[in-house]
């Protein structure tokens, strides 16, 4: 079965993983969120303290690959592509005020994403056990869908 965005199947997807290989994320060719999850064995590799950061790291890795793919296809090297992306982010950051930090809380209350405007600033999970794998992944999916404008019932809260 193909992943979906807005009810339409997405044929070409790009995967990213965290440095341990325990968390994964899937985006479409332009970096829009498709899916996120945890692989078996995530608890010993990440535990409850690092699981949220690993999910965000996997998403960032997938989005970076999506951003690099067209540059590599045009024959530009990875280092040049990274420097161009870094420069673009710096210009964007310098050109705008910092929006207030908000927290998007998943419907299950397990996954909380810290965002500034539309950019991810960090993440955390509440008390979890190894048995919460699917619930954490589902909460992270719902939060990221909410961030993308999909309205799934996540709550917003001021950071602090």
pLDDT digits 0-9 by tens, 108-136 = 999 999 998 778 999 999 999 999 999 99
Pull the structure tokens for residue 121: 């600033």
The rounded distance, in Å, linking the Cα atoms of 7 and 22 is 27
The pLDDT > 70 percentage for the chain reads 79
Task: Tell me how many domains the chain contains.
Answer: 1
Q: How far is CA 42 from the centre of its chain?
A: 17
- pLDDT grade, residue 1 (50/70/90)? very low
pTM of the model: 0.76
Q: Where are the alpha helices (DSSP H) in 4-160?
A: 42-73, 78-94, 133-147
Q: Is the dihedral of CA 55, 100, 32, 149 positive or negative?
A: positive
pLDDT digits 0-9 by tens, 75-85 = 766 677 677 77
Pull the structure tokens for residue 81: 């592509």
Q: Which domain holds residue 85?
A: 4-158
The average pLDDT across 60-82 equals: 79
The rounded distance, in Å, linking the Cα atoms of 11 and 28 is 8
């Amino acid at each position: 079965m193909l992943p979906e965005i807005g009810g339409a199947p997405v044929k070409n997807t790009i995967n990213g993983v965290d440095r341990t290989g325990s968390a994964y994320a899937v985006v479409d060719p332009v970096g829009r969120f498709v899916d996120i999850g945890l692989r078996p064995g995530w608890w010993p590799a990440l535990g409850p303290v690092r699981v949220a950061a690993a999910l965000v790291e996997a998403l960032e890795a997938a989005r970076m690959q999506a951003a690099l793919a067209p540059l590599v296809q045009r024959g530009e090297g990875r280092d040049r592509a990274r420097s161009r992306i870094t420069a673009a982010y710096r210009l964007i950051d310098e050109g705008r005020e910092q929006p207030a930090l908000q927290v998007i809380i998943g419907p299950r209350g397990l996954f909380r994403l810290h965002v500034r405007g539309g950019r991810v600033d960090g993440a955390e999970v509440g008390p979890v056990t190894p048995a919460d794998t699917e619930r954490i992944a589902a909460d992270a999916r719902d939060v990221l869908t909410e961030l993308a404008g999909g309205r799934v019932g996540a709550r917003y809260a001021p950071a602090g």
